Structure 1
Amino acid sequence: MKLLFLHQNFPWQFKHLAPALAAQGHRVVAMTLQKIEAGEWQGVKLVPYTVGRGTSPTVHPWVADFETKVIRAEAAFRALQALKAQGFAPDAVIAHPGWGESLFVKEVWPQTKLGIYCEFFYHPQGADVGFDPEFPSADPEGEACRLRLKNLNNLLHFELADAAISPTHWQASTFPEPLRSKITVVHDGIDTEAISPNPNVSLTLTTQVGEQIRFTRHNEVVTFVNRNLEPYRGYHVFMRALPEILKRRPNARVLIVGGSEVSYGARPDPEHYGNRPWRQIFIDEVRPQIADADWQRVHFLGNIAYPHFIALLQLSSVHVYLTYPFVLSWSLLEAMSAGCAIVASDTQPLREAIYHDDTGRLVNFFDIEGLANEICALLADPPARQRLGANARAFAQAHYDLKTVCLPKQIAWVQGFWGLDQFR
């Protein structure tokens, strides 16, 4: 079989599925916007392509998002035409449609099957938008109109798609019928064999004052991880809980991972916050409440290498994960696989993985005092941490293990929408 993957940041969600299909003997090609040389990765032929223009500066703000997707869809369309001219005709295309690249796949190959990765369908109420009253929309009256147009890409893809896959039940549920009935729920998968508890783990970090500190499981460590530190992932709530945590736990060290950009929500309003990133805004807010000696126990690590990230989870005493009702981060399931004792926000889709006082502790997203109390209670209770961590790992192994659960289901999904007999 000939298979084509479309993802601007390939491999991302397809980092296990694409190589697995190649290993089965199928011809697998992947197109990506990443600036790489054409070549091969784990048996997958890589085909980079480029976008020749940006969004128009004067376009109506409600359609700016869709224009960006059409620009990328056209660039992908031209690259697909070039592949076709070289004689390549895939039996199936598997795409993440979130950036628009797969909009015109069937204009190139009308008979090719299209399977899409369904990450999120936007709603004006009941999900991320409007969830946090501290950060209201700049145009609350027009927000529903903007989101209706933002979903155009989703709706157009469902006219084209032969099948769809989504990583969590809640994310799948955000899509309306009859679209939802096309979606198979299978997570991307976590390698629970590689990400496992390590009682002998150690990690050496350099503090803000140049001191080198070696951390082990004997240290009291609170961890907080985001791709970027922003309100969508509860960074502001966690920071506001820090003064109380540091006061009550004089030996605790706080390790914070994440960049200073924006992954999901809006950038800070410069008229209100100046030119500061979210990271600095909430440092500036809480810093006057924290003594200098206590602040030395808070370490901002930026974005760290993946092996260091796993070591950080393995040495964590309490791991904190907060999110608006939005897509579920891999880091939460990786923390479960590492056997972390987790304090998490009582928001979707977390309720699929964290059951209160079983696989972790849940707190109201906005309850700063409750968050501090749960973290401090677990830091003071090693047996509870051991129980929650063991349960979290067992749950991750049973439901999200890459090799025994998720990857076989992903392959079965591809077989199903193409046709099992033909695929073999």
Structure 2
Amino acid sequence: MRFLFVHQNFPGQFRHVSAALAARGHEVVALGVNRAEPIAGVRHLLYEEPKLDHKTAGRNPLGPALDELRTKVLRGEAAARAMQALRAGGFEPDVVVVHSGWGEAFFVRDVFPKARFVAYAEYYYGAEGGDTGFDPEFSSGDATLASKRVRIKNTHLLHALNDCDVALAPTGFQKAQHPAWAQERIRVIHEGIDTQRFRPDPEATVTLRNAKLVLRPGDEVVTFVVRQLEPYRGYHVFMRALPLLQKLRPNLRVVLVGGDGTSYGAPPPKGKTWRAIFQEEVQAQLDMERIHFVGRVPHTVLTQLMQVSALHVYLTYPFVLSWSLLEAMSIGCLVLASDTAPVREVIEHGKNGLLTPFFDVEALAHAAAGALKNGKKLRPLREAARQTVVSRYDLASICLPAQVELLEKSSL
């Protein structure tokens, strides 16, 4: 069979399944805009990212949403031109798999009307119990305007859901955010966690060069890992909890992994970063020598950091569940996480981790201090966390076979 994967940042969620299909003898082609490490058997082609000029933001309260939709349409058009070039060169895929989040799925049906179309349905905005309006600190005061913006934000996703034969969502929560009619065609299959790679290692070490410090299992280390240090992943809540946590546990060290950009939600005020804003808010109350911002780190270092962690804190709006949480659980971290819907799908309080209310700063600090104090008693939670991932999200035995089976099926 012939497979085409389309993802502006390929491989993204398609790394393992594209490699597996190539290894099984299928012809696999990928389209994206960014170069990546080669995957054996996968022909990775780049399409030209459209040049975007934002014309409406200053003239219309819906301007940002309209500009975003325009961006998605232009990206879909650019991807379609690349697909047309593939077709002109003789490549007619049996299956096209597209991440629907960036507009690349807009014109798949127009270029390849006979191919089976599989949409990766990562997130649908505005559903009850989701991220929209969750955090009043960063919510628009005009509910009607916010609703209009969300409606526009979902336009390209609706096109993909309407056109596809079947869709994939990684968690039940993410599937449930979609309209009822779309949920009927969404299969829940996670991308999978390599539980042999992400596992405990009592010999792991992490060197913090600037602090001239080596961390090892058994050290009182709290880890906080996100792609970007921003409100969607609870960075502001975590920082506000640190002054009390340091008073309760004066010898702990906190390591924060994440960039200074914005992946989700509104950007910070011009010229500032969310990291700096919330660090400055509490810095006078902190011993900064015991708080370590390490930026973005290689995945191997991130794994080692989780292996030495005494407590891993994960906070999120009701939104896409981070791979980092499942990786931390696979490693056997003691996890303290926000009591939000996507987290409750994988963590049961007191069974395989600990939950705390997202906005309750004092509760977070006390829960973290208690977890550090009772770390030895809570070891069964570490073991149960790993078992949860092994039994439900293991890449080799569960998730990858399910993905391959779905994509290879002659009828969906």
TM category (shorter chain) comes to: over 0.9
Cα distance in structure 2, aligned partners of 1:141 and 1:160: 29
Amino acid at match of 1:74: E
Partners of 2:317 and 2:340 within 8 A in 1: yes
Asked if 1:379 corresponds to 2:372, the answer is yes
Query: 1:141 Cα shift?
Result: 2.8
Cα distance in structure 1, aligned partners of 2:168 and 2:56: 36
Amino acid at match of 1:317: A
For residues 298-337 of structure 1, the aligned pairs below 5 Å read 298-337=291-330
Out of 101, 112, 116, the position equivalent to 2:115 is: 112
Cα deviation, 1:57-105, whole Å, max 9, x if unaligned, reads: 2364332221111100110111111111111100010110110112111
Partners of 1:128 and 1:325 within 8 A in 2: yes
Cα distance in structure 2, aligned partners of 1:40 and 1:129: 37
3-state SS of 1:187 partner: coil
Amino acid at match of 1:71: L
Partners of 1:121 and 1:175 within 8 A in 2: yes
Amino acid at match of 1:287: Q
Out of 206, 209, 222, the position equivalent to 1:206 is: 209
Cα deviation, 1:166-205, whole Å, max 9, x if unaligned, reads: 0000100011121110000011100001110001111111
Cα distance in structure 1, aligned partners of 2:76 and 2:386: 40
Out of 61, 72, 76, the position equivalent to 1:73 is: 76
Unaligned runs of 5+ in 1: none
Match of 1:222 in 2: 222
Asked if 1:419 corresponds to 2:411, the answer is yes
Aligned residue pairs total 407
Query: 1:136 Cα shift?
Result: 1.8
Asked if 1:146 corresponds to 2:122, the answer is no
Residues 138 and 83 of structure 1: CA distance in aligned 2, closer, same or farther (over 3 Å): farther
Asked if 1:398 corresponds to 2:391, the answer is yes
Amino acid at match of 1:46: H
Query: 1:214 Cα shift?
Result: 0.6
For residues 9-408 of structure 1, the aligned pairs below 5 Å read 9-35=9-35, 40-58=38-56, 60-123=63-126, 125-137=128-140, 139-207=142-210, 211-270=211-270, 275-290=271-286, 294-408=287-401
Amino acid at match of 2:278: F
Match of 2:60 in 1: none
Cα distance in structure 1, aligned partners of 2:220 and 2:378: 12
Cα distance in structure 1, aligned partners of 2:170 and 2:127: 22
Partners of 1:257 and 1:302 within 8 A in 2: yes
Partners of 2:5 and 2:30 within 8 A in 1: yes
3-state SS of 2:376 partner: helix
3-state SS of 1:62 partner: helix
Cα distance in structure 2, aligned partners of 1:252 and 1:368: 18
Cα distance in structure 2, aligned partners of 1:40 and 1:84: 23
Query: 1:398 Cα shift?
Result: 0.4
Please identify, of 198-207 and 119-128, the stretch whose mean Cα deviation from structure 2 is larger: 119-128
Partners of 1:317 and 1:385 within 8 A in 2: no
Amino acid at match of 2:358: F
Cα deviation, 1:101-156, whole Å, max 9, x if unaligned, reads: 12111211211110011111111652111101111226433111111111111111
Partners of 2:127 and 2:178 within 8 A in 1: no
Residues 56 and 287 of structure 1: CA distance in aligned 2, closer, same or farther (over 3 Å): closer
Cα distance in structure 2, aligned partners of 1:410 and 1:128: 28
Partners of 1:127 and 1:325 within 8 A in 2: yes
Query: 1:50 Cα shift?
Result: 0.7
TM-score under structure 1 length normalisation:
0.93
In the TM superposition, structure 1's runs of 4+ consecutive aligned residues that sit over 2 Å from their partners are 58-62, 138-141, 382-385
Cα distance in structure 1, aligned partners of 2:154 and 2:374: 46
Amino acid at match of 2:104: E
TM-score under structure 2 length normalisation:
0.96
Partners of 2:249 and 2:369 within 8 A in 1: yes
Q: CA RMSD in A?
A: 1.5
Query: 1:383 Cα shift?
Result: 2.3
Amino acid at match of 1:388: L
Partners of 1:124 and 1:130 within 8 A in 2: no
3-state SS of 2:118 partner: strand
Amino acid at match of 1:9: N
3-state SS of 2:224 partner: strand
Partners of 2:56 and 2:66 within 8 A in 1: no
Cα distance in structure 2, aligned partners of 1:411 and 1:277: 41
Query: 1:26 Cα shift?
Result: 0.2
Residues 62 and 138 of structure 1: CA distance in aligned 2, closer, same or farther (over 3 Å): farther
Query: 1:40 Cα shift?
Result: 5.0
3-state SS of 1:201 partner: coil
Please identify, of 248-257 and 139-148, the stretch whose mean Cα deviation from structure 2 is larger: 139-148
Cα distance in structure 2, aligned partners of 1:135 and 1:226: 19
Residues 61 and 217 of structure 1: CA distance in aligned 2, closer, same or farther (over 3 Å): closer
Amino acid at match of 1:419: S
Please identify, of 135-144 and 160-169, the stretch whose mean Cα deviation from structure 2 is larger: 135-144
Partners of 1:378 and 1:385 within 8 A in 2: yes
Percentage of identical aligned residues? 46
